[in-house]
Amino acid sequence: MSANPISDDISAKLGKEVHAVLDQSQNCAQTAFAVLQKEFNLEGGQILKALTPFPGLALRGETCGAVTGCLMAVGLTFGRDDLNDWKGYLASLPPSRRFCRRFEEAQGSLLCANLLEAKLGHRYDLASRVDSLKYAASGGKKVCRNIITSAVMMAAEIMR
């Protein structure tokens, strides 16, 4: 399964959607998933709710929420429904690993704290009110919006 480039029109549409959803949700994981869910008509049920604490895995600076949100969508596209379906499990790994590899190559890391430090010059503790305000004042939301947009584009190419 190779990535299928998305058109400029779809790219622009997804970028606008990321902007709108992030403004509403203030949550990278939910934003990434919601945009892909809408674009690919994915079922999601409780996934959006479950993704609530996933930004940086509960704001601990760990896996970027854009990664987890996108992987949820990739999993719905390529994953298995039956826990006994070993072939389905194995088939889901190449597109998921391809997404992670592309994200890491483009952004430099899969970890929220590393991404923010590289792009903003400071390692923020987003669970801290003081650091959260400093993050916002430093343009953090724009940086994260760009990361989410990039992640959504990568996932969309893989999911097509």
pLDDT in tens, 45-72: 899 999 999 999 999 999 999 999 999 9
Residues 6+ apart with CB under 8 A from 112: 55, 56, 57, 61, 62, 63, 64, 65, 126
Tokens found for residue 40: 């690919």
Neighbours of 17 (CB within 10 A): 18
Q: What is the pTM of this model?
A: 0.94
Residue 122 domain boundaries: 8-159
* Within-domain flag for 62: yes
* Within-domain flag for 2: no
* Within-domain flag for 1: no
Q: What is the pLDDT of residue 134?
A: 98
* Within-domain flag for 103: yes
Q: What's the CA gap between 141 and 22, in Å, rounded? A: 9
Q: What is the pLDDT of residue 68?
A: 99
* Within-domain flag for 3: no
Sign, CA torsion 110/32/3/107: negative
Number of domains in the chain: 1
Tokens found for residue 135: 């993050």
Summarised one tens digit per residue, pLDDT across range 112-130 is 999 999 999 999 999 999 9
Q: What is the CA radius of gyration of the chain?
A: 15
Mean pLDDT of 36-51: 95
Q: What is the pLDDT of residue 1?
A: 43
pLDDT beyond 70 at 5 = yes
**pLDDT range class, residue 76, cuts 50, 70, 90:** very high
**pLDDT range class, residue 73, cuts 50, 70, 90:** very high
Q: State the average pLDDT for the chain.
A: 96
